[in-house]
Amino acid sequence: MRSLWEEIFRYRVNVITLVLSVALLCQFANILTYIAANVDSQSIIAATDDDASSGIAKVVKTRWWSDNGWAHYGRFYFRTAHSLQYFWGMTAAPSGAQAHEVWERTAHFSIMLISLLSVYGYCYLLSTVLTSSRPHRLASTVLFVALGLSNSTWIEFVLRAHPDHLFALVCGLAFYVSARWLTSINDERLFVGSALLWGIAAATKLSIVLMIPAFLLLFSLL
Amino acid sequence: MALRYAGYVSFAYFVVGFPQSIVLDRPVLFLMTHIQVYLPADMESLMAWGEALVEQTWKILLAIPLAATFSPSSYARFVLLSMKNFLQLAMLFIFPLFMLFCRKSLVPSEHYLIPFLVMLYLWLGFLIAKLPRFKISDQLVTSFLPMVFMLMSVGSTPKAISEEFNQLTSCRSEHRELSSLISSLIRQGEKLWLDPYTPYDETALGDAQSISWTKNWSDADKLGFTVFVFNKGFMNRYTSNVSVYSRTENPGWEATQAFYLDFKAGALVTSPAGAKFERISEEGCGPSHEIWRRVN
């Protein structure tokens, strides 16, 4: 018994990383069950949420090579959701549903999942800024996700079809790379990387225009 | 350098959105229309803004320094960021927050804050990366404190998720019944005029159904609708407790209000052209819906 504890102690970091990974997966799986249970067809979602219903309609219509008729915003969002849906096919199939309903349900699931993955993405990003220790990153991610989603607005926009969490993730990544670039201003890869990420953010949501004065100031202070 | 940067930003924007992104006028027109939706800030919107900001930030703002205190520091190079860099980066979320602050936009749009708050959290993380950390024994740090963080998260799945889920799904079965009724009316050859926030039949062809945000008797008679499907929550925007966020100066607002007021009592309604409508269905879940059908 003593030697077992010694072994566990020797590999304690790996053991804790494993335990925390399981905790993170459990948290993710639990939230995912809410997403799956919330899935419905475009028509039913329209009864409570006009934006989400039109979001489902746009994902259904989106292709990477063509115009989905909605040029205002969200190309990256709709195209990412379309790609996920394409790989899943018509899998959200409760018995008795018509083919178009099944396709819409899969679209609905894909857009909500993108939001949830985005929340995990930016919480993990924040953890990497705070610490280099993998167990602490995992623990902090679980903590930040739990605290973030305890706010009704944040969880509402995971369960409703909106691009805001994906936009937050892309902005977060762009912000992170921009900060890295500011620490080594001559690094061409970071310069190009941060600009490309801001471009993708612009293709996700047009709220990026609110940041134009900040970009002007950023470059004027270089 | 700024021009080259803008070039790369535009390149990514156009490539990710191609071929839609080559049409630049549509997003610009959309933005200009969107700006018109929002009015200048007033005291009520400022208070709502402040409340949303505090509500969405306080827990994570407390958790970030706490998590950092009990974690080994990052390898990252953020210690190299100067105060000028911090100012440059801070502008990226302060400007948007300020611009939201200047418009009466938050009451229906608290989610606009999310991306800018994520940047604020990262910025705070960069700032903390520059600060010295407590010296805690490696053993304690690696084996015990992550667990404490986990417990501090008061359960890894907050109650807000189930509350929000229940709110979103509590009327689904009623909405499915309503959806079936709408499909059945369309199959019977009726011509439906629907409110936003109502189920509809995506398979209906031609002009069998139409959804509109404004309604009036002139269009109803001219277009020959035989069934109206109302969302009572939406109707109430016009008929009771008209919110300060309602744009009553919009053309069509008064005509829409007059149209809905005729239906408010629930009795038989006669249009100016003589069409009579009676309520054939009413479901009482959530904002609730009702269906009116022409009887003559």
State whether B157 and A31 contact (CB < 8 Å): yes
pLDDT at residue number B43: 82
Please report which confidence band the pLDDT of residue B206 belongs to, taking 50, 70 and 90 as the band edges.
Answer: confident
Question: Which residue of chain A is at minimal alpha-carbon distance from B288?
Answer: A47
Confidence class for position A108, pLDDT limits 50, 70, 90: very high
Q: Which of A18-27, A164-173, B211-220 has the highest mean pLDDT?
A: A164-173
pLDDT interval class at A62 (50, 70, 90)? confident
Distance from CA of A80 to the nearest CA of B (A): 10
pLDDT value at B209 more than 80: yes
**pLDDT over 70 at A94, yes or no:** no
Q: How far apart, in Å, are the Cα atoms of A144 and each of A27, B66, B67, B287?
A: 12, 12, 10, 34
B61 touches chain A (CB under 8 A): no
Does residue B35 surpass a pLDDT of 80?
Answer: no
Strands in B276-283's sheet, in edge-to-edge order, are B209-211, B192-194, B227-231, B289-294, B276-283, B269-270
Q: Does A40 touch chain B (CB under 8 A)?
A: yes
pLDDT digits (tens, 9 = 90+) for A119-170: 999 999 999 999 888 888 898 899 899 999 999 999 999 998 889 999 999 9
- What's the whole-number average pLDDT of chain A? 88
Query: Which among A47, A140, A164 has the least Cβ separation from residue B149?
Result: A140
Question: Domain residues for A144?
Answer: 2-162
Q: pLDDT tier at A4 (50, 70, 90 boundaries)?
A: confident
pLDDT at B147: 62
Q: Do B11 and A75 touch (CB under 8 A)?
A: no
| Contact status of A96 with chain B (Cβ, < 8 Å) | no
* pLDDT per position as a tens digit, B131-140: 877 666 665 6
The answer to whether residue A25 neighbours chain B at the CB level (below 8 Å) is no
CA proximity to B59, closest of A125, A123, A144, A155: A144
CA–CA distance, B239 with B252 (Å, rounded to integer): 14
Contacts of A182 in chain B (CB under 8 A): 81, 85, 88-89
Check CB contact of A11 with chain B, cutoff 8 Å.
no
CA distance B274 to chain A (A): 30
Q: How many CB atoms lie within 10 A of CB A198?
A: 27
Q: Which residues contact A30 (CB under 8 A, 6 or more apart)?
A: B156, B157
pLDDT at A57 exceeding the cut of 80: yes
**Cβ–Cβ under 8 Å, residues A78 and A70:** yes
Cβ–Cβ below 8 Å for A214 and B91 = yes
Domain-located, residue A183: no
Answer whether residue A116 is part of any domain. yes
List chain B residues with CB under 8 Å of A150.
59, 154, 158-160
Q: What single DSSP character describes residue B260?
A: H
Mean of the pLDDT values across residues B78-104?
A: 88
Cβ contact B91–A218 (<8 Å):
yes
Least confident of A118-122, B158-162, B201-205: B201-205
The residue of A129, A194, A206, A217 whose CB has the most chain B CBs within 10 angstroms, and thus the best one to mutate to test that interface, is A129
For the cut 90, the answer to whether the pLDDT of residue B157 exceeds it is no
Shortest CA distance from A52: residue in chain B: B197
pLDDT exceeds cutoff 70 at B106 = no
Share of chain A above pLDDT 90, in %: 45
What average pLDDT is seen over chain B? 83
Is A211 close to B92, i.e. CB distance below 8 A? yes
| Omega prior to B19 cis, within 30 of 0 | yes
Q: Is B173 on the interface with A (CB under 8 A)?
A: no
CA distance B161 to A32: 11
Is A119 an 8 Å CB contact of chain B? Answer: no
Number of Cβ pairs closer than 8 Å across A and B? 342
pLDDT of residue B127: 92
Give the model's pLDDT for residue A8. 76
Contact A188, B194 (CB under 8 A): no
- Beta-carbon contacts of B156 under 8 Å, excluding residues fewer than 6 positions away, are A23, A26, A27, A30, A142, A145, A146, B150
- Any CB–CB contact under 8 A between A128 and chain B? yes
| Biggest CA pair distance of chain B | 85
Would you call A197 an interface residue with chain B, using a CB distance cutoff of 8 Å? Answer: yes
pLDDT of residue A133: 84
Residue pLDDT, tens place only, A175-193? 999 999 999 888 899 999 9
Smallest Cβ distance to B199: which of A12, A44, A203?
A: A44
What secondary structure letter does DSSP report for B103?
B
Query: Number of folded domains in chain A?
Result: 1
Report percent pLDDT > 70 for chain B: 85
CB contact under 8 A, A162 and B111: yes
